[in-house]
Amino acid sequence: MTEPTRPTTEITLLERSYSIACPPEEQDKLERAARYLDRAMQGIHARGRVIDRERIAIMAALNIAHELLETLDDQRVGEENLNALTARLEKALDAVPTR
């Protein structure tokens, strides 16, 4: 019995092509992520200090992980501020006399 072929998508990172298993409904997201990663890798490569592709990929991954964590921290702070404002609004509305 043969295993069915999994759909793949071609992406390019630092001018090298890779075939990645990906369901068709996720293809656009994979391509977008690959473009983002490629830009990050190209930026590191352009600085000229890191040449090895593996090290470039690791540096790009660390930079992207840092961006993600900063964004998550900002989101958490924003949610906390929104919750505090909601609590103040509810308190103010509770203080309004009813007719």
- Domains of the chain: which residue ranges? 8-95
Looking at residue 4, its pLDDT comes to: 66
pLDDT tier at 71, thresholds 50, 70, 90: very high
Average pLDDT estimate for 83-96? 94
Looking at residue 96, its pLDDT comes to: 87
- Rounded Cα distance between 8 and 34, Å, is 14
Domain 8-95 has CATH 3.30.160.880: yes
Per-residue b/e over 55-74, b at no fewer than 16 CB within 10 Å?
ebbebbeeeeeeeeeeeeee
Q: What would the pLDDT profile of 23-43 be if each residue is shown by its tens digit?
A: 999 999 999 999 999 999 999
Looking at residue 12, its pLDDT comes to: 96
- Percent of the chain at pLDDT exceeding 90: 84
State the burial class of residue 19 (Cβ atoms within 10 Å of its Cβ: 0-12, 13-18, 19+). exposed
